[in-house]
Chains A and B, each alone.
Chain A
Amino acid sequence: MSSLSRSRLGRGILLHLFLTPLALIWLFPLWMMVVFSTMPDNGIFSPGIELLPHDGFLDNFNNLQRDTNFVGAIGISVCVAVTYTVLSVLLTSMAGWALARYEFHGKGIVVAIILGTITLPYAVVLIPQFIMVARDFQLANTWIALIVPPLFNSLGVLFMRQAFSMMPAELFDAARVEGVKEWRIFLFVALPLARSMLAALAIILFLASWNNYLWPLLINSQPGAMTAPVALGTLIGLTKVSWGGIMAGAVMLTLPMLVVFVLLQRHFIAGIAAGAVK
C-alpha cells in the first residue's frame, strides 16, 4: 500500500471514529422519545436504565387521549397545516411571480419593504396581531385565526421570486406572443416549471404550520380549538399527567415529519438551503 493511500485511509477512519459518536448523541433524544413513548409511567420513573422500546405505546396513547383530546387536536393541526400550505404557496408564488416577471410602478418600494422588514423579530407584531384578531375581529379560537395571520411570511415570496427569475425570460415571451393570457402563463407555464421549488416551499411551510406553537397557544387556547402542539404543551408541567402519554403525543407529532423528511429529503434541504444561496 502506498503511503498516500495509507494516510487517506487513516484520515477516513479518524473521520468515522469522530462522526459516529456525535451522530449517536444526536439521535439519542429522538430514540429516547420513541423508547419513552412505549414505556409505562412507572417504568419511565424507575431507577433502571432502559434503552430499548417496550410495547406500551397503545396504553400511553390511551392515557394521552384521557388527559386531552389529542386526536381531535391532531385533526385540527392537519387541516390547518394543509389549508395554510395551499393558501400560502398560492399567495407567495403569485407575489413572487409578479416581482420576478413584471415591470410595474412601485416595484422597488414593495421589494424594499419586504427585504427591509424580513429580519424583524416576530415578537414585534405579536401583540397588535393578537389585539386585532382576538378583540377587533373576534376570531379567537377559530380556524381563520390559525390560518390567515401567518400567511404574511415573506421568505416564501423571495424564494418564489428567485425561482421564477431563474427561468429563461424567452419562455414567457414566447407564450405572450402566442396570445396566452398572463394568468394562464403563470398557471400552465411558470408553475409546472417551478414544481420542485413549489414542493420545497410547500414542505417548509407545512412543517412551520405543523410545529407552530406560540401563535396557536395565544389565539386558540380553548380546549376544543387547540392544535396538537398546544394541546400537548398544556400537559407539560401538570402534576397528575401521564408522561408516557406526552411522549406518545411527541412521537405522533414527530414521526410523520421524519417520514416526509426521509422521502423528500432533496426538496427539504433545497428549501432550507435556499435561504443562504442567493
Chain B
Amino acid sequence: MRTRNATAYRFLTPYLLIFAIFWIWPIISSFMISFQATRTVPWRFAPAFNWGRLIGDPAFYNALENTLLILVIQVPVMIALAIMMAVLLNSPMLKARGLYRFAFFAPVVVGEVAYSAVFRLMFSLDFGIVNKLLASVGLAKIDWFSNVTPAMAVIMIAVTWRWAGYNAIILLAGLQSIPDDVYEAATLDRVSKLKQFFHITLPLLKPVIVFCAVLSIIGTMQLFTEPFLITERGGPGGGTETLGLLLYRQGFRSLNFGYASAIAYTMAGLAIAITLVQLWLTREPK
C-alpha cells in the first residue's frame, strides 16, 4: 500500500475529534477529578479526599456487594440460558424457527424504560400478574419490592429476559461458524450428541462464550436503569443499589463529581481486570 497521510487523516479527523473530546479527554479528566475535592469551589487537589472516603464508605461497599452479587448469579445463569437457546435454535429439527427466534430475540429491541415499567407492573404486590398467577395455583403471594432478596430476584430476572437473546444471537453466529463436517466425523466415530456438545461445541465456542461473558459483566457492572426504575432508586432501603446507581446519586443528585469519579474509576478498574482475564482465557495455546 502507498502511504497516504493527508488522505487518511482527512477521513479520520471528524471522528477522531469527537472521539478525543467525548471519550479520551473524559477518561483522563475523570481520573483527575477523582483526586479533587469538588464539594467547594474552586476544586482543589486532595488525593485522599474521595478515595479515602470510598474506602470507608458503607454505601459504597453495599453497592459493590449488590453489583457483584448480581454479576455472580445473573451472568452465569443468563449465559447458560443463552447457550441453550442458541444450540436449540440451531437444531435442524426445529420447526417454525422464525417464531422461536422472534420470541427470544425480540427483547433486544425493547428499551430499558419500557421493560422496566412492564416488570414493575408485573411484579407489583396486590395486582401484579405474577402474584395473581402464583395465587391461582395456590401459592403465597410474594411482596417483591419490600424485601431485598425478591427485589434482587426481579432485577436479575428482568436483566436476564432483556439480554439472554442478545447473547444467543452472538452465540448462534459462533455456532454457525463451526463446520458441519466436524460433527459428521464425530457421529461416524459414535460420539453421542450430548458428548458432542461438551467435547466439540463448547470448546470451539469458548472464545465467543468468554466474549459474551465479558460483555455481560461489563454491562451488568454499570447496571443503572433497572434498580432506578423497577425497584424505585435501589429500594428497599438501598438493598438493590448498584455502583451505577450510587454514581448517579453522588454525581447528579449530590453533585459530588469527585466522589462519583472515584466510583467510576473503581468500575473501570474492575472492567480492566475482567478484560485481562478474558485475554488470558482466550490466549492462543503456545
Contact = CB atoms under 8 A, between A and B. Distances in A.
Contact of A247 (B33, B100, B117, B177): B117
Contacts of B64: none
Contact of B23 (A8, A98, A152, A250): A152
A15 B100 contact: no
Nearest to A95: B15
A253 B121 CA distance: 17
5 contacts: A30-B110, A104-B3, A119-B214, A232-B113, A275-B211
A113 B24 contact: yes
A1 interface: no
Nearest to B251: A127
Consensus secondary structure, chain B interface: helix
Sorting the interface of chain B by its residue count into under 10, 10 to 19, 20 to 34 or 35 or more gives 35 or more
Nearest to A232: B113
A19 B94 CA distance: 9
A178 interface: no
A182 B174 CA distance: 35
Contacts of B155: none
Contacts of A47: 126-127, 132
Contacts of A101: 1
Contacts of B126: 45, 47
Given A154-B23, A213-B111, A273 B271 contact: no
B61 interface: no
B173 A277 contact: yes
B25 interface: yes
B107 A30 contact: yes
Q: What class of interface size applies to chain A in its complex with B?
A: 35 or more
Contact of B3 (A103, A123, A127): A103
A272 B101 CA distance: 14
Contact of A11 (B26, B93, B115): B93
Given A119-B218, A261-B108, A253 B232 contact: no
A23 interface: yes
Interface string B264-275: 110110011011
A112 B214 CA distance: 19
B99 A277 contact: no
Interface in B104-140: 104-122, 126-127, 129, 132-133, 136
B42 interface: no
B190 interface: no
A102 B117 contact: no
